[in-house]
Structure 1
Amino acid sequence: MKIDLIAGARPNFVKIAAIIHAIEKSEHPIKYRLIHTGQHYDESLSGNFFRDLSIPKPDINLEVGSGSQAAQTGAIMIAYEKILINEKPGLCLVVGDVNSSMACAITAKKMQVKVAHVEAGLRSFDWNMPEEINRILIDSISDYCFTTTLEAKQLLLNTGKEEDNTFFVGNTMIDTLLNFRNKFRRPSIWEKLKLTEGNYIILTLHRPGNVDEIKNLEITIKTILDHSRNLPVIFPVHPRTANILKLSTCQNENLYIVEPLSYLEFNYMVERAKAVITDSGGITEETTVLGVPCLSVRNSTERPETINEGTNELLGTDPLTIAPTLEKLFNGKWKKGKIPESWDGKTGGRIIKILNRLSFCF
């Protein structure tokens, strides 16, 4: 059996890493080819990134680059179709909800290749999120669905998915987090800014609704700074957001705009932060496991377990919600949280055992 492992953005590789490590440890290793669609070209996806996660460089890079939703999706489908014409795998495995996952899942299905979706069943019920459309499309055509929670599995069963092909396995992103926790690396800014544990805040914003409108971005950042009790606010930004910030008035002695950190460096910072303020979904999972308070500047989440069980709170995008939430944090009233079921670092192994059991199907 040979499978295609699809990744298009940095978080995808973090999740795929757990699959690759499980394959390497398996008594019956599965042959695979790692395909990078090139959806996000990021300097961090260099040799150092793959070396940090102990995974090989991609076997194939489709190099589609950026573009509109339609242009990017179409380019990925055309490029992946050419790969499948030359050689079909037994299975196409996609993770998450990015355009790469959706485009490759559709292309594989039309080429009579079975599809497996890792992180299936997540729903924000927010149609303003392009990822929500991707999730629903991928789930609807997947032959095998692997979920992070029992609730996600039940949602899929309620929509008609078969019990025999829907598996609650846990969270591959947490596999990687736990596997590399003892290798987290202190970044140079730690010494440069004289940071100490529990005495700074990490800020990450990337969603268009939060960063594209300069005035809104300025108000959000100013509100955070006004109510962060003079703690340093560390804001790793991607080039797109950095260009917007150059046009803004977001200057403050406690705001430190830094370049993106490596996976090991970023999580070193997260684990030791007073809190994380973010609009990322994946970070809410990591902070839940690390026990770090997390404030989500979003109107919806596809990961309700990080709120119901974890350390995350959903603020919405109105800056007026930031002040009282930070007040609760500094008054020591933040919930303790717990780690969701089966987020134990063994998800990749469970997935590979299931795929080996199902190998007669493809």
Structure 2
Amino acid sequence: MPKKIDLIAAARPNFMKVAPLFHALSAQPWCEVRLVHTGQHYDANMSDAFFADFDLPKPDLHLGIGSGTHAEQTGRTLMAYEQACLADRPDWTIVVGDVNATIACALAASKLHIPVAHLEAGLRSRDRYMPEEINRILTDAIADVLWTPSIDANENLAAEGIAEQRIEFVGNIMLDTFELMRGRIESQGKRDELGLSVREYAVVTLHRPGNVDSPETLETLVEALVRLSTEVTLVFAVHPRTRNRLEQHALLERLQAASGMRLIEPQGYIDFMNLVTGAALTITDSGGMQEETTYLGIPCLTVRPTTERPITVEQGSNRLIGASELLSAAQAVLKGECCYTASRPELWDGQTAGRIVADLARRAGK
């Protein structure tokens, strides 16, 4: 009998990570994949477009969780996924990343004695004020198999006393996604649609609570972006959370009035990566963009005090900055005053899904 595998997707970063693995597993005769969408991102721009981008089918199961506090999302997902497993028990549950659904589904499966594999395991920011850090630590503690994207992740898990046989270094699945979609990304015309020339603009994404929930920090960032937009065109993909905070604190109009500012809605993966690949600079607080820009060798300024992806700073083109440093750091990049000697970390090669399939087949006795 084929092994039944649940592949959990919850939020935008999850969709781009599960896509290459879904396609790789679906091609195997020894397993059947059930794609489970928890519904943590329920806006069409934030989820449905990503399924279309990656040629993913309609989810086999949609839990419809929606928004709420961390406890509400986690609790509702835990209960809903437990019921799904009781109704149709999988042989394996694969969770991805560090969102609330990651720990919720891992916990539900673990308590039902269903083996759990965590894709993108071992990442640590050392900042427990980040809810994602709590999700990572707890998921890694209970998962049976930990698929890591980088050597430092293995070191983190070993330092936490996790048995070596539970850990498998597989590489960075995000870059499988990029290579899977590279042709469509390069042929997409989002840059042309916005009238942008390669290396003559910067891409901005900001959404984390530490940056957008504090009026003072948000105003500092807006002021820096407005001043920077007089020197280079800024393409700012405005997350719904960020837009709400900008409107709440009467800062949105200041951005809209800046002549060099292009405010756009959140984009699907293909459109967004078409913008990123042509950028001279990226400004973000996202985790994924730190990895993608390292792979592409594009300077990235990450507005955060810590990162769970330190390898992008050590080997890549990423630099951590505070809100007050944004303007000067960006100006230095644009003037060529910063020397980036980025290299691709080990196994960041677009072949991670194949290594995962091989490891899971071995562990499943196939």
TM-score range (shorter-chain normalised) is over 0.9
2:157 counterpart letter in structure 1: L
Distance 2:286 2:185 in 1: 20
CA distance in 2, matches of 1:230, 1:327: 8
Structure 1 unmatched runs, 5+: none
Among candidates 301, 306, 327, match of residue 323 of structure 1: 327
Q: Does 1:286 align with 2:292?
A: yes
Which secondary structure does the structure 2 equivalent of 1:145 belong to? Answer: strand
Q: 1:46 to 1:103 in 2, by over 3 A?
A: closer
Counterpart position of 1:209: 210
* Counterpart code for 1:327: Q
Counterparts of residues 62-73 of structure 1 (less than 5 Å): 62-73=63-74
Choose 233-242 or 60-69, whichever is displaced more.
233-242
Would the alpha carbon gap of residues 261 and 121 (structure 1) be closer, same or farther in structure 2, given more than 3 Å must change? Answer: same
TM-superposed CA distance for 1:85, in Å, is: 1.1
Moved more, 70-79 or 188-197: 188-197
Do the aligned partners of residues 213 and 254 (structure 1) sit closer, same or farther apart at CA in structure 2, a change above 3 Å counting?
Answer: same
Specify every segment of 5 or more residues in structure 2 that has no aligned partner in the other structure, as ranges.
none
Q: CA deviation at 1:51?
A: 2.9
CA RMSD of aligned residues (A): 1.8
* 1:142 and 2:160 correspond: no
Is the 2:41–2:47 Cα contact (8 Å) retained in structure 1? Answer: no
2:206/2:239 contact within 8 Å kept: no
Percent of pairs with identical residues: 44
Give distance in 2, aligned partners of 1:258 and 1:334: 30
Q: Does the 8 Å contact 1:47/1:57 carry over to 2?
A: no
Give, in whole Å, the separation in 2 of the partners of 1:44 and 1:200.
24
| Residue type at the aligned position of 1:158 | A
Scaled by the length of structure 1, the TM-score of the pair is 0.94
User: How far 1:197 sits from its partner (Å)?
Assistant: 0.4
Aligned in 2, Cα 1:290/1:29: closer, same or farther, shift over 3 Å?
A: farther
SS where residue 116 of structure 2 aligns?
strand
Structure 2 Cα separation of the partners of residues 159 and 46 of structure 1 = 34
Could you tell me which residue of structure 2 aligns to residue 357 of structure 1?
A: 362
Alpha-carbon distance in 2 for matches of 1:171, 1:102: 20
Correspondences of 1:234-313 after superposition (within 5 Å): 234-246=235-247, 247-248=250-251, 249-250=254-255, 251-313=257-319
**What CA deviation, in whole Å up to 9, does each residue of 1:17-76 have, x standing for no partner?**
1211221344x4421101011111121356543232122221000001000010111100
Matches within 5 A, 1:1-362: 1-26=3-28, 28-44=29-45, 48-184=49-185, 190-227=191-228, 230-246=231-247, 247-248=250-251, 249-250=254-255, 251-316=257-322, 318-319=323-324, 321-332=325-336, 333-360=338-365
Deviates more, 1:343-352 or 1:215-224: 215-224
CA contact 2:191–2:274 (8 Å) conserved in 1 = no
> 2-side partners of 1:306 and 1:11: how far apart?
17
- What's the CA shift for 1:80? 0.7
1:221 Cα deviation after fit: 2.3
| Structure 2 residue matching 1:180: 3-state secondary structure | helix
Q: What CA distance in whole angstroms lies between the structure 2 residues aligned with 1:69 and 1:216?
A: 23
Letter in 2 for 1:148: P
